[in-house]
Chains A and B, each alone.
Chain A
Amino acid sequence: MPAVSKGDGMRGLAVFISDIRNCKSKEAEIKRINKELANIRSKFKGDKALDGYSKKKYVCKLLFIFLLGHDIDFGHMEAVNLLSSNKYTEKQIGYLFISVLVNSNSELIRLINNAIKNDLASRNPTFMCLALHCIANVGSREMGEAFAADIPRILVAGDSMDSVKQSAALCLLRLYKASPDLVPMGEWTARVVHLLNDQHMGVVTAAVSLITCLCKKNPDDFKTCISLAVSRLSRIVSSASTDLQDYTYYFVPAPWLSVKLLRLLQCYPPPEDAAVKGRLVECLETVLNKAQEPPKSKKVQHSNAKNAILFETISLIIHYDSEPNLLVRACNQLGQFLQHRETNLRYLALESMCTLASSEFSHEAVKTHIDTVINALKTERDVSVRQRAADLLYAMCDRSNAKQIVSEMLRYLETADYAIREEIVLKVAILAEKYAVDYSWYVDTILNLIRIAGDYVSEEVWYRVLQIVTNRDDVQGYAAKTVFEALQAPACHENMVKVGGYILGEFGNLIAGDPRSSPPVQFSLLHSKFHLCSVATRALLLSTYIKFINLFPETKATIQGVLRAGSQLRNADVELQQRAVEYLTLSSVASTDVLATVLEEMPPFPERESSILAKLKRKKGPGAGSALDDSRRDPSSNDINGGVEPTPSTVSTPSPSADLLGLRAAPPPAAAPAPAGAGNLLVDVFSDGPAAQPSLGPTPEEAFLSELEPPAPESPMALLADPAPAADPGPEDIGPPIPEADELLNKFVCKNNGVLFENQLLQIGVKSEFRQNLGRMYLFYGNKTSVQFQNFTPTVVHPGDLQTHLAVQTKRVAAQVDGGAQVQQVLNIECLRDFLTPPLLSVRFRYGGTPQSLTLKLPVTINKFFQPTEMAAQDFFQRWKQLSLPLQEAQKIFKANHPMDAEVTKAKLLGFGSALLDNVDPNPENFVGAGIIQTKALQVGCLLRLEPNAQAQMYRLTLRTSKEPVSRHLCELLAQQF
């Protein structure tokens, strides 16, 4: 860069700036600026042409004024003129002004582009650099369009100067990041890789940044860079600290370049070539060795640079995850950092160790640092470091150290920061559940958890305890005893009361033998908490009381007394009042046999993915870390200890299970069918056997209570079943779909042709084809009788706002259908948006004078508009990761209804509409599919994965789409097919 000569000092500018700085008030500053602007305007307007120097000076002043926050709406032309100057300083100011002030839609852009083009074509390296910097600084689409083709040429030209190449690489990187589509890939890509061999370290550094970015998109094009990068890296690593002169930073040779090279290598799997791999491993070892050497300087910059390389090396080792030796060494290195004076280092070490812990090679090595980590959790002053320590403890936990870790975390919980308490509670709950060897320990842990941090114990946690206690009879007695003891504390948390209420209500009889916990004692203990609790808890306690009446008839009088009290029977809360009234009547009306049946012990809950785990996942998002990884890697830990010691009760549960939480959010779609006379509540209780309902698998509390309660009157089926009080149903008014409609619909999810409906009178056949978002459906109505049907009117009805989602055009058919004849109706269907419910087909006709009507669900489901998409495994996983928001995923674990045959499943999936992708899932048993749902308004990408488990006769189905309701709906549709 040419030195600025004395004459270029621009005294006027200096005076102006010092004037502005000396202004006492804002008003004075504005006055000065106005004056200057007027002066510049008159100068620019003036008749005599300005020389380059003054032009530069005034443009500079304008720039300064602009940077002070004032609008500048002139001077652009002068700045553009400066671009064609031959003086470096003038050109520089011109480019500076343009990078800062010119917006992309300016008319001047053409002139600017022209000037840039001239400079790029010039042989002067400084001018070329200025032009490249300007392109990169503006970085707009227009700039990209104009120069994206030229820059690669400059980059790989043999005669470009080093500084120009460096600028060109960075400029290209900027353009690529701004608009990747504009940068053409071509033969230059191969030559870019060879820049890694360049003599000039600056060029190499710039090139590495560029390649790292480019190779993320097209990894194959740049594969050759691996060996070059490795050899470059090894040259740097093995060089003495003085070899690289300009690029040695505090005795560390080229730290930035090394870090970038290591990052680049992390884009690829370990090199296949043994020689390259050997060299790389050698490099990595050297870096690890160097970390052990005494520092060459006491300066913090030296250690920072050194550690930056070290940490990047470790993350590369973790990325490769194939060198046990290196992994262990890395772990040991990090272990040293755990006790380092620098807080940042400790933080980074903990963070890296978290990832190391999930590697099978280094898991053991990580575990050796458990004491240090626990110490960090206790004594660390920085909350973020403590958080990392907690994460690491969670990650390194396994069966061998679970007890220690859980107890440490519990101890820490008492003093933990409020912000991370909930997370720690969840972690403790998960670890306790996952690694519980004996369930009494588990129960103890969770009760402790509630005692210490009751406020942070979410519902899922205590639901889970109840599920586990209910499902395992060996722990029930212990649980009842422990809960009873815990409740005796003078002040206990409401969650504890809930758990206590539930468990004693179910299993209180197991400890009733002990006179210290005799039934009346249990009852009075629970009732002493009653008045301190919220409505929800009180409701639960009331249910406990009625269960007590069944378990311990001797308490009946007392409990009835409590229920009869005015505070219950006339409670302001409707729920409590209803419960009190119903339970009281139930206890006095029903015989002991009936009571025993109604209030039977809860059946075991179906096994499913732990709801707590789901909660943690949701809380932390997709990157959630080791909890997810763990469960994926180790299938046996997937079911909560189910894989280790399966209990017969858990496997034989018949109902399809879903996520606990999902159920809470959306009530089961098929609620138990309401009996016709939903009026008399008590009758329902008796007529509806309790055994029928719990299989739906609601939350423990709900199940516990729903046993005793009539189905909610607002259940959709009940509404539909209600005889409509309306007068004559109009022609548009159609009846509810026939009960089998759903079943009939399910038949057509995976196929397009077949018989939709058949009875003694009528047969309806369907033939349909779908392309993109359009479909055509032929309906064949066959008269099976010998009598003519009259007023035959099939109509298609869109319930709700379906009309806006799906357009169906129907052709009218003849009103008479002769006996034995068949008429055909054509429907044209267009999918406008994604929809959930199918349209209804209502058929009315008169047969022998009596009107007949029939409502069916038209077999049009969203998956009909599926377009199969083929993609490679890598693409699939990339997209899979993109769709990782919890709402985008729908998962269902369900029992197979049909024999599990791979070919049949395959056919069904194809019929469903998705493409089947082979060789994507590492497990050949699993099915992976992909497709796009085409609607007029939008396209919904959809990825699915089906994992059959032949032993358990179960499937796990996961769907990820870009739209949340679609995921759920598709998942439900598909799950019914297997």
Chain B
Amino acid sequence: MIGGLFIYNHKGEVLISRVYRDDIGSQAADSALFSSSGPFLEERERNAVDAFRVNVIHARQQVRSPVTNIARTSFFHVKRSNIWLAAVTKQNVNAAMVFEFLYKMCDVMAAYFGKISEENIKNNFVLIYELLDEILDFGYPQNSETGALKTFITQQGIKSQTKEEQSQITSQVTGQIGWRREGIKYRRNELFLDVLESVNLLMSPQGQVLSAHVSGRVVMKSYLSGMPECKFGMNDKIVIEKQGKGTADETSKSGKQSIAIDDCTFHQCVRLSKFDSERSISFIPPDGEFELMRYRTTKDIILPFRVIPLVREVGRTKLEVKVVIKSNFKPSLLAQKIEVRIPTPLNTSGVQVICMKGKAKYKASENAIVWKIKRMAGMKESQISAEIELLPTNDKKKWARPPISMNFEVPFAPSGLKVRYLKVFEPKLNYSDHDVIKWVRYIGRSGIYETRC
């Protein structure tokens, strides 16, 4: 179980320190025999704190593993901008559980005070300790549902709660459906569905796909009254084929559009037993925003852009680069925030760039030419050419030619996922599925989208 949790700033100073068990710290075993309180405890805590700072944050070589073992103590860390969150334990814990908890913790903090930054953490440290008290007990993760937490941990000062309210919170938090309180009422029953995907690609210079996958999330924002029972349907291949058994006709029609999902995880509200038996996704949603599911696909990915590089070395002191990008989706759609990053050799001494569209600039601090295009419609192509002057160097190390990477945002799901339906049933209240206003939005973003040159 988690022995303690520390939050550091980029200098390695501790912003938040919460110790749940006394076993952490390198001299733990010895001093625990003699005393378990007072200065000794602080001493021990200090050891663990320092060990992480010295061995990870200030390590001579960048520590790449998220799990570090120092003196039989394990440190699990995640980094959000300049902030390090480290969970510490001496026991053999489930690492996936610890990371899940750390991510959840980030989400909760973000939901309470926005961006996780040193400033925000310092301003909200009382709140963070309060949250930690609630979501982690003696090192065991507890309810970390933002919605539920917000009912009893608030930022608006102390609000005296009536006995009724208190008992309601208790019964909700300890009850079967801990993520939703009863008696929610909306005048307008409304829900929003966002399908957010990030597409990752590595392509050879000749245009051969070396690896590609899409990781996506379905995020739902629900403003529904009562305790609605929802059912979510999408073009999952298995479901479609199962249904298709009845009418062969339908199978052929929808077979093309169905997608194969490699794996997926759900929010705790989804009834997994039902998913296992019928593969239907049914749930009672939490109020407000939550992530309904995550999934990953690797087959039949629609690659929104194709990058065609052309690099020519002219003698020892010159390099000519030409890059063409082609958009590969319906002409009616518009891609946004397109950015192409062309790495330059380490001995670049000067760059001239010509591009047809957008703006391109040589960024010396990043050793790359960055080409930005605001918008681009489907089935178009654009081109950039650059002349790079090189400085002759002493050692004849060859340039490693790192890949050209790309960023963009497109209004469709590159995996091909389609929401088929989202049905809402609320038997107790008098609104039906038809009365609910539903919105669906698809956003595809680039993950690591690279082409070798």
Hey, which bits of chain A sit against chain B, CB under 8 A?
24-26, 31-32, 34-35, 37-39, 41-42, 44-45, 73-74, 76, 106-108
Contact = CB atoms under 8 A, between A and B. Distances in A.
B30 interface: no
Interface string B226-255: 000000000000000000000000000000
B347 interface: yes
B366 A44 contact: no
B391 A34 contact: no
A25 B82 contact: yes
Interface residues of B, number: 19
Contacts of A106: 394
A35 B62 CA distance: 22
Contacts of A108: 394
Contact of B349 (A24, A32, A45, A76): A45
Return the 8 tightest CB-CB contacts between A and B, nearest first. A38-B364, A45-B349, A31-B365, A41-B349, A35-B365, A73-B393, A35-B364, A41-B391
B10 A25 contact: yes
14 contacts: A24-B10, A25-B82, A26-B62, A34-B366, A35-B365, A38-B348, A39-B364, A42-B350, A44-B391, A45-B391, A73-B346, A74-B392, A76-B394, A108-B394
Nearest to B58: A26
A25 B395 CA distance: 30
A84 B397 CA distance: 29
Given A34-B365, A38-B364, A74 B394 contact: yes
A45 B392 CA distance: 9
Contacts of B346: 37, 73
Given A35-B364, A74-B347, A108-B394, 7 more contacts: A25-B10, A37-B364, A38-B364, A38-B367, A44-B391, A74-B394, A107-B394
Nearest to B396: A73
B389 interface: yes
B15 to A, nearest CB: 15
Contacts of B82: 24-25
A45 B367 contact: no
Nearest to A33: B365
A32 B350 contact: no
A42 B349 contact: yes
B349 A73 contact: no
Contacts of A35: 364-365
Contacts, number: 49
B348, B349, B366: which has the most chain A beta carbons within 10 Å? B349
A5 B380 CA distance: 62
Interface of B: 10, 62, 82, 346-350, 364-367, 389, 391-395, 397
Contacts of A44: 349, 391
A73 B395 contact: yes
Contacts of A24: 10, 82
B239 to A, nearest CB: 45
Contact of B348 (A31, A41, A73, A107): A41
A74 B391 contact: yes
A42 to B, nearest CB: 5
A700 B10 CA distance: 68
Contacts of A39: 364
A34 B364 contact: yes
Given A34-B364, A34-B365, A73 B394 contact: yes
Contacts of B364: 34-35, 37-39
Contact of A32 (B10, B365, B394, B395): B365
A41 B351 CA distance: 12
A25 B57 CA distance: 11
A396 B395 CA distance: 63
B365 A45 contact: no
Contacts of B348: 38, 41
B280 to A, nearest CB: 46
B247 to A, nearest CB: 58
A305 B210 CA distance: 72
A294 to B, nearest CB: 48
Contacts of A107: 394
Nearest to B82: A25
Contacts of B391: 41, 44-45, 74
A34 to B, nearest CB: 5
B367 A34 contact: yes
Nearest to B350: A42
Contacts of A76: 394
Contacts of B366: 31, 34
Contacts of A25: 10, 82
A736 B162 CA distance: 106
A521 to B, nearest CB: 45
A73 B397 contact: yes
